[in-house]
Amino acid sequence: MNAPNAETDRQCNVAALRIWENEGGAPGLDFTNRQYGRRVEADRSWTVYHVFFGIPAHRDGVAMTGLSRPDATRRMLSLNQRNAERRTAWIAAPPIVLHERAAGQS
């Protein structure tokens, strides 16, 4: 008697996990490294989009729309990795000094 309920619960959980994964999954500790997600469109194609604005991502002037799921995943991960590398380089860069005062000047 509990078997149908358990199966229904399992199907609901599978559906919820698919939605969660489609929206990028768990953000982890550093959500700033994940600015792009992927989503399935009404025509069953995939789009890579900016998670804060909801608009399709662009690379080399081309919108990342109408993609297959594997292609959208690769492009999303590539964009997020590129952003993480840029952020790491920016944080590691020495501060910019506009001018230094000569010794003894006030």
Domain count, the chain: 1
Q: Tell me, yes or no, whether 103 lies in a domain.
A: no
Q: Tell me, yes or no, whether 38 lies in a domain.
A: yes
Q: Measured between alpha carbons, how far is residue 51 from residues 14, 18, 34, 84 in Å?
A: 23, 17, 8, 15
Q: Tell me, yes or no, whether 5 lies in a domain.
A: no
How many of the other CB atoms lie within 10 Å of CB of 102? 6
**Share above pLDDT 90 across residues of the chain, in percent, rounded to a whole number:** 31
Please tell me the least confidently modeled range out of 26-30, 75-79, 81-85: 26-30
Q: Tell me, yes or no, whether 8 lies in a domain.
A: no
Q: Tell me, yes or no, whether 101 lies in a domain.
A: no
Q: What is the pTM of this model?
A: 0.54
Q: Which domain range does residue 81 map to?
A: 33-91
Q: Tell me, yes or no, whether 80 lies in a domain.
A: yes
Res 9: pLDDT = 77
For residue 74, report the phi and psi dihedrals to the nearest 5 degrees.
-60, -45
Q: Tell me, yes or no, whether 61 lies in a domain.
A: yes
Q: Tell me, yes or no, whether 16 lies in a domain.
A: no
CB proximity list for 77: less than 8 A, separation 6 or greater: none
